[in-house]
Structure 1
Amino acid sequence: MTITPVKELVLRAKEEIETLSRDEVWRLAQAGEALVVDIRDPRELEREGKFPGALKAPRGMLEFWFDPASPYHKEAFATDKKIILFCAGAWRSSLATKALQDMGATNVAEMDGGFKLWKEEGRPVEA
């Protein structure tokens, strides 16, 4: 059996999605123009801290929360704001952003570098 390595899937997704700088994500978030969505695992949130004001949406539920026809839909996703996803290192967020695009999202992007670089740069983090 031959599989496509996840790194290849991520690279393909990045060719088709919008990636925003951490500065741009912060600017949009502070201006109230973005819904910033943290798709990391709850254990990562506890261990590493949180992006201020980000919606926590576990990766496994993202498509269900996004879909208005899903019994699990979350109203926060029914927005005209830009939806910006991030994870720890911008791999899961690439795949997740591509998945939402495949579902019809047109105003969705990922944050470059993920939360790891966000935190390493000394940016705001909630405990």
Structure 2
Amino acid sequence: MAKGYKDLLAEAEAVVTSVTPAEAAALREDPGVVLVDIRDPRELEREGVIPGAFHAPRGMLEFWIDPESPYHKPVFAEEKTFVFFCAGGLRSLLAAKVAQEMGLKARSMREGFGGWKAAGLPIAEKAARG
């Protein structure tokens, strides 16, 4: 039988370390850590962004991580810990698992951007494109 998303999340939860929004906020000051926002660009424009976070849309993540890809982003070649986040923590859990499988030191932020916002942590506006 095929796996459902709950199966995939359970597998990811078993191997990915997750941090709370407050822990992620503290890690933001660490030069060895990069917060990675995998939300869709429209979500960023609508909800705002975490200042200093790197945006890597979920649909491009594997291509941006792989140094052999024509879409590779140099930030992912750095010896850093990457803390992935989305709106609520589910997509970023799966993304962190993939990033780990691709050789990165990856974490996931529980509760995602929604938890960050609910905790009253800093948010900046993202200007609309075009």
Q: Deviations over 1:16-69 (max 9, x none)?
A: 111112222111211322111000001100111001111110001001101111
Query: What secondary structure is seen at the aligned counterpart in 2 of 1:70?
Result: coil
Query: What secondary structure is seen at the aligned counterpart in 2 of 1:37?
Result: strand
Q: Hey, what does 2:106 align to over in structure 1?
A: 108
Q: Hey, what does 1:63 align to over in structure 2?
A: 62
Query: What secondary structure is seen at the aligned counterpart in 1 of 2:28?
Result: helix
Distance 2:25 2:115 in 1: 13
1:33 and 2:32 aligned: yes
Distance 2:37 2:15 in 1: 20
Query: What secondary structure is seen at the aligned counterpart in 2 of 1:84?
Result: strand
Give the aligned length: 125
When residues 19 and 28 of structure 1 are mapped into structure 2, their CA distance, relative to the original with a 3 A threshold, is same
Matched letter for residue 115 of structure 2: L
Q: Hey, what does 2:7 align to over in structure 1?
A: 8
TM-score between the two structures when normalised by the length of structure 2 = 0.90
Q: How does 1:78-89 map to 2 (within 5 A)?
A: 78-89=77-88
Checking the alignment, whether the CA contact within 8 Å between 2:28 and 2:35 is kept in structure 1 is: yes
1:50 and 2:49 aligned: yes
TM-score between the two structures when normalised by the length of structure 1 = 0.92
1:120 and 2:107 aligned: no
Distance 2:73 2:93 in 1: 21
Q: What's the CA shift for 1:94? A: 0.8
Q: What's the CA shift for 1:79? A: 1.2
Instruction: Give the share of equivalent positions with the same residue, in percent.
Output: 47
Q: Give the unaligned 5+ runs of structure 2.
A: 126-130
Checking the alignment, whether the CA contact within 8 Å between 2:87 and 2:114 is kept in structure 1 is: yes
